[in-house]
A = this chain, B = another copy of it.
Amino acid sequence: MVSAPSGTGKTTLCTNVRQTPDLIYSVSVTTRPKRPGEKDGADYFFQSKTEFENKLKEGGMLEYADVYGHYYGTPKAPVLQHLAEGRDVLLDIDVQGARQIRESKDPQIKASLADIFIMPPDLEELRRRLEGRGTENAKQIATRIAAADAEMADWKSYRYTILSSSMEEDLIKFRAIIRAERYLSRRLNLQNGS
């Protein structure tokens, strides 16, 4: 799973990483309104609050969070299904969600877990990136900067931390981590000596 404050290019990074073979991008469920250009089932599964809360009650969410008044969550069944079939699953979630995933009792989740934090260079650079993106007003940017500041304190809870530089460099680092994790001896099932 990967977490990063807004504006570190995490979403673009994940979009690129989605091309990696045998890596399945977990599509989150959200109750926030669809933005222009977003597609249901690709960017998010867009659901009503009632639908989301029912799913939650059934234990169907691996993690969820209430961010800026909207629910975001990771549906459990598809993740477990992919893992059981030997595929890696990429979760793009915030630090609250990451904490819930780490506390999961599910043995498949615990054995598979690897977490990466994308650290923006500093808050000033983050502000420049958010302003450059032009999708939020000044108040929304201030809210995101404050949230980012709080989230950045969590980096040590993640096994890996990438200091965000260029998109290309971040992507190279991200892919190296995903590759390397596959060669961990504890993840391998070999006949010899096992």
Contacts and interface: CB of A to CB of B under 8 A. Distances in A.
Interface of A: 116-117, 119, 152-163, 172-173, 175-177, 179-181, 183-186, 188, 190, 192-194
A37 to B, nearest CB: 32
Nearest to A116: B183
B117 A153 contact: no
A183 B174 CA distance: 9
Identical subunits present: 2
A186 to B, nearest CB: 8
B180 A161 contact: no
The 4 closest A-B pairs by CB, nearest first: A180-B180, A176-B179, A177-B180, A176-B176
A184 B158 CA distance: 8
A177 B183 contact: yes
A156 B185 contact: yes
Given A153-B192, A154-B193, A185 B173 contact: no
